[in-house]
Amino acid sequence: MNYLEDYPLSWNHLLEVLPDGVAFVDEHGLIRYANERLTVLTGYTRDELVGQAVEMLVPSRERDAHVVHRGEYARDPSAREMGNDLNLILLCHDGNELAVEVALSPLTLDGKEWVVAMIRDDRARRAAEQVRTEFELHALATAEALSESEQRFRLAFENNVAGMVFADLEDKILAVNDAFCQMVGRTREELLGHDSTPFTYPEDLGISEEANRRVTSGETDQVSYAKRYVHRDGRVTVAEVHRSTARDPEGRTLYFVMSERDITQERALTAQLSHQALHDPLTGLANRVLFEDRLSQAHEKVVRQGGLNAVLLVDLDDFKGVNDTLGHFVGDKLLVAIARRFDQVTRSSDTLCRFGGDEFLYLAEGLTSPAQAEQVAKRLLGALAEPFSIAGAHLAQHASIGVVVCDATSTDYTESIRDADVAMYEAKRERKGHHVLFAPSMREQATSRFALLQELRQALQAGEISMHYQPIVDLATTEVVGFEALMRWQHSERGWVPPDVFIPLAEQSELILELGAFALREAMSAASSWERTGARTGRPYVTVNLSAHQFHDPGLVSIIEGVLRTSGLIPERLIIEITESVTLLDVAETLGVIEHLNHLGIAIALDDFGTGYTSLSYLALLHPKIIKIDRSFVSPPQQSARNDTLLETIVSLGKKLNVTLLAEGIETRAQFERLRLLRCEFGQGYLFSPAVPADEVEALLARLPANWG
């Protein structure tokens, strides 16, 4: 199995064209990937290698030592090379042994730790050492030995796939093979008698000179280094150079032997792997690993020099709707476009990171006041002001931002991300599309809300959640025509927990879907019994409120169909209440769900009418059966002629659209009379009754209607 098949194709391409064998080894020492070159070197197929312990490639006499070396590397990955003076041997499929060098690199991908092993056929280097040995014996050998030595030299030198160079004490080239000529794009005639300065990459000038100094001074006999050459065609080639010293019997330096291997593609792969490990593959921004490293460095800088840093967590509002309605392709394109907008307003000293999903992190360094951090937040929000054009669709996108300001007294800089998350949710709670500056009290509130959410989960299982029912009255006759199902939570220690406290908490998680299904089951089961208790009209219906999350849940219609079957309630006695915000989330999807419900015989009520942002044209599209007039128009804090005019206008609009009007929050006889005068059909409120438990509905039906005239 190829464990890298999910990664970019360019990786696999680079791995397969490398001249060295490559193996990816996991933390248990098992081979999880092998390239084609490794199969050639070992004689095993890829399927025979992958999934096996790496010790299968080590002769049995050396396996214990290899396990020890691997354990030492796991403890200290800075020891990146194995092979120097170890004479490593590769055990091939046919039982033959091959001398190799092994270079190791640690790599973290998707949270997993790997070791990348580059396995190099060491015969070229050893051949070079053999060449040096042969040259040292040259002066002492007989004429016959000299002939044999020259023949071996030509085989090892001229035909070597690695670049081979002999140079004098001034580093001028004495001999060179075809492989080196091809590496630098020069002929032998252009190279002989000259050093490498003319075709050395400018920034690497001095590397060969320093290596030459070390071996000439006797500091070492061998040295390895990497340097870049400029090919005649302009390409930059990276070479790994092994420089050895040839000495006479008295120890005087005669010349230098250099074996040079082209590692350009290997370096490109390493750079790509490193970039991938630290950057988001979709947007190219820093990922969390790189962000936390920058955050650590920024904190240390503030401790040394003073000043302030800020961490901003940006969460895109309602982004899920883009993926759900337009698809992930458009969603990804929008994320990339948003990243480019943010990048344009990012200071060079700051770090922008894609935190994951639809969240971004921003590190602002070198600030002098919290106000500057808030200015950064405003710039990021401003970058989203203009709509995006993606795949022919014009998309408006907003965001909520949590801002945390950090100084030298911050004991744990990583907490700033958590605190920014707390402030971001506070921003969403208050009003989407703006930012909030973190305060310590928010953490306590967040902890309390989290604890309450966990208790809410337990309460649903323990039966502490119940449905109460508030009567909906025909204002002309005061007969009960229906009930609104309202959720209640009787906490074992806290007492009654208000719905406006626990419902928003549930909406921040998938728990809202469980509560919604519970409300539908309980309400429809209760409503199916009302007709059997002999209500006077014989037709009280039940309305159930659904949040945007619930209404756009793909399983909603099937859930309702299932509950209708089990409860026996006829669809015409169920009305689903939605707010204007549900419509705003996605008009096309909302209309699709409403069409399914209407086909079943289930009507829609538009709740809190007049308080949201819905265009009047939406009313014509949605065709709601009922418009619920918000209590702010029915029982305003202060009476005014303007409010009376608005109430009258809403009722008149409903009549012209042939929609039933239901007034909420009727608390006084005067409000009741006013609505009857306007010929508003239905109403509910404390004047008639608060919401009551299911077992009290029968008594309430017997008590109403009452004489309100």
Domain 282-438 has CATH 3.40.630.30: no
Long-range contacts of 429-435 (CB under 8 A, 24+ apart): 429/504, 432/317, 432/318, 432/398, 432/400, 433/317, 433/381, 433/398, 433/399, 433/400, 434/381, 434/400, 434/401, 435/312, 435/374, 435/377, 435/378, 435/381, 435/400, 435/401, 435/402, 435/403
Q: What is the mean pLDDT of each run of 10 residues along the chain (709 residues)?
A: 51 62 85 88 91 89 80 65 59 89 74 79 66 54 48 61 84 88 90 90 89 82 89 90 83 84 82 76 89 90 90 89 81 92 92 91 93 94 91 86 89 82 84 83 76 86 92 91 94 84 81 91 92 56 89 88 92 89 69 89 84 60 86 82 85 88 93 93 94 91 67
Q: What residues are paired with 144 via a beta bridge?
A: none
Measure the CA–CA gap between 423 and 417, rounded to whole angstroms: 10
Q: Which residues pair with 117 in a beta bridge?
A: 23, 104
Q: Domain boundaries in the chain?
A: 9-121, 124-268, 282-438, 466-703
Helix H or strand E segment including 229: strand 222-230
What pLDDT does 231 receive?
92
Instruction: State the pLDDT at residue 561.
Output: 93
Written as six digits, the tokens of 163 are 């670049």
Amino acid at 169: L
pLDDT confidence of residue 535: 43
Please report the pLDDT score of residue 376 as a whole number. 94
Does this model's pTM top 0.85? no
pLDDT of res. 9: 44
CATH fold for domain 9-121: Beta-Lactamase (3.30.450)
The reported pLDDT for the residue numbered 143 is 44
Topology match between the domains 9-121 and 124-268: yes
Looking at domain 466-703, which CATH architecture does it have? Alpha-Beta Barrel (3.20)
In 3D space, the residue among 705, 694, 696, 704 whose CA is nearest the CA of residue 486 turns out to be: 694
What distance in Å separates the CA atoms of residue 650 and residue 134, rounded to the nearest whole number? 104
CATH of domain 124-268: 3.30.450.20
Residue 115 pLDDT: 82
Distance CA 519, CA 496 (A): 18
pLDDT at 109: 67
State the Cα–Cα distance between residues 443 and 420, nearest whole angstrom: 10
- Cα 585 to Cα 319: distance, rounded to the nearest angstrom: 10
Helix (H) or strand (E) holding 247: strand 236-247
Instruction: Report the helix count and the strand count for the chain, using DSSP H and E.
Output: 27, 28
Pair 507, 428: CB distance under 8 Å: no
| pLDDT recorded at residue 124 | 59
Q: Which residue has the tokens 């037709």?
A: 539
Q: Which of 522, 618, 507 is nearest to 552 (CA)?
A: 507
Q: CB within 8 A of 215, min separation 6: which ones? A: 221, 222, 223, 243, 244, 245, 253, 256
